[in-house]
Each structure stands twice: as C-alpha cells, then as structure tokens.
Structure 1
C-alpha cells in the first residue's frame, strides 16, 4: 500500500519537455504484490500523470480481489534531484519522497513514520515498469503499465 504510493510519486508526467517528458497521460496495467507473510497477489492498476516543467502530480489506483489502494503524489525535479510528498488516501498515511532520476529512469525512497520503500521506475516509449521493496506490510511489488 504505502509501497505503491512511493512508486507512483516518482512515476510519470504530462509535460512535453523537462524531466518527466514522455510520461504524461493515462497508463494502465498490472503486476504482483508480495505481502509480509510471503504470499503474493495479482493487482490491476491505473495511473494519471500531469507535469508542468520540473513539477509533476500523479494519481495511482491499484487493486486485487482482496486489496485496494489510492496514491497521490507531487514531486519536483531540481537538476536530477527528485523531492516531494505522497499520500495514500484509503489508509490516511503519507510522507516524503527523495531520489534521483532523468531520461525516464528514477530511483526514489518513499518515507513516513515507521515506513521506507525503495522504488525504481523505468519508462521507455509507451511502456513503464515499477519495482518496489519496502520494510512494512508490503514487502515488494512489480508493476508493468502501458499507455
């Protein structure tokens, strides 16, 4: 859940130029999430990214048969350094995002009280992959999106 929030925050945008160029718009796809007990579930996801210059706002919703989360994030790029905030609205939790990236590849850490998630995002053309590792209820996730 919080794990996904972070991934989304580093994800995509709506600008034709700038650090988030090429990632704007609506994306959908799926993947798997691994839970604390080692079990995994298939998830379906939808994302929307909007960017203006070095800033980006995103929204990500993912669900399985038994689980759902809604992530919102706002980030800013300053010379390849990414910073911002995220919130997971269905669980009323949020925190900060810090990392580096450019050219469609981003590495960020999403943090909140008692939570950290490492997120890797790669975008190439109309395909995007998100990998997350967390130290909480959600241990890992792998998501593939397309637009």
Structure 2
C-alpha cells in the first residue's frame, strides 16, 4: 500500500507539472508573459485498479527573462492527497526544459519537451517513473493529458481556466 501511495503522490506531482507546461503560449513569438497570474481548474486521475478520482488545481505564474522563463507554484488536491509543487521552466525556440520539486512529499525531477504551435509534447522524469504529456492551449483555457503506462496511476487529465484579474 505504501508503494502505491508513493506512486500516486508522484503521479499527482506530474499532474501539477503538466499544469505548468499547459500555459506555454500558442503563438509563433512564444513568451510566458501572457500567462502571468493565477489559473485554476479540475480534472481526474485514473488508478490502474480503481475508479477515477477528482483533482482540483490552482497555479500561479511569474514570467522571468523577458518571458522566456517562468517560475510557478502549483497546488492540487484530490479527495485523498494534497500537493505543493514549484518549478522553473525555460523555453528556447520550441524547446522546453526545466526542473520541479514537490515540497510535501520531497520529490523532484526534470522536464523536457517541445512546444510547436501551441501543442506541447513533453516528458516528466523523476527517480521512479516517467510520464508523457500532451498539452493544448486555446485562449484562456488549457487542457492536458498525462499517460504513464504501467504506473499505478496510468492517466491524468485536467482543464484550467485563467482567473479574473
């Protein structure tokens, strides 16, 4: 049971990181400046051996380096868990790279991927698991799906909306 909870925590952390990647802009002149502020939303995660569970998230973004980097704080909660993640993501052309750390469960890792015309395909890695992400952004809405075949939580999907300023 402890192993399953550790994997669930890691998957939730990946879900938070997915949220981070979700905000990458969809225009040719890419910049994180247009996502500054707070976003919130909800979705679900699917354990390999049980029903879907509801997840709620709140994300705060602070662009840096003329919008080519972003510092973020992400908080998500399901019925059973709470997560508090921070990350730094850099964008160079269409290439994304960065790192993340979840303070409640003391886990971290790297992010790598591509943002091409608003479609993000990325990989999130930690010590025990790898997850693949697909993220789509349209205006003030973002959606993403995380797939981690073979993991205790095999899929996560979350929808975010920009909060009123």
TM band (smaller chain): 0.7 to 0.9
Report if the CA contact (8 A) 1:42-1:64 is conserved.
Answer: yes
What is the aligned counterpart of 2:138 among 114, 124, 143?
124
Match of 2:14 in 1: 3
Distance 1:58-1:105 versus aligned 2 partners, 3 A rule: farther
* Higher share in strand: 1
The runs of 5 or more residues in structure 2 that have no matched partner are 1-11
Find the structure with the greater CA-based Rg: 2
**Conserved? CA contact 2:24–2:137, under 8 Å:** no
Alignment of 1:55-94 (within 5 A): 55-94=69-108
Q: How does 1:1-147 map to 2 (within 5 A)?
A: 1-12=12-23, 18-52=30-64, 53-135=67-149, 136-147=151-162
Q: Deviations over 1:24-45 (max 9, x none)?
A: 2211111101124233101111
Give how far 1:103 is off. 4.1
Q: Which has the higher helix share?
A: 2
Aligned pairs, number: 145
> How big is the shift at 1:50?
1.6
RMSD: 2.1
Q: Any unmatched runs of 5+ in structure 1? A: none
Instruction: State TM-score, norm by structure 2.
Output: 0.78
Question: Greater CA deviation, 104-113 or 1-10?
Answer: 1-10
Query: Measured at CA, do residues 144 and 72 of structure 1 come closer, stay the same or move farther in structure 2, by a change above 3 Å?
Result: same
User: Any idea what SS the aligned residue of 2:147 has?
Assistant: strand
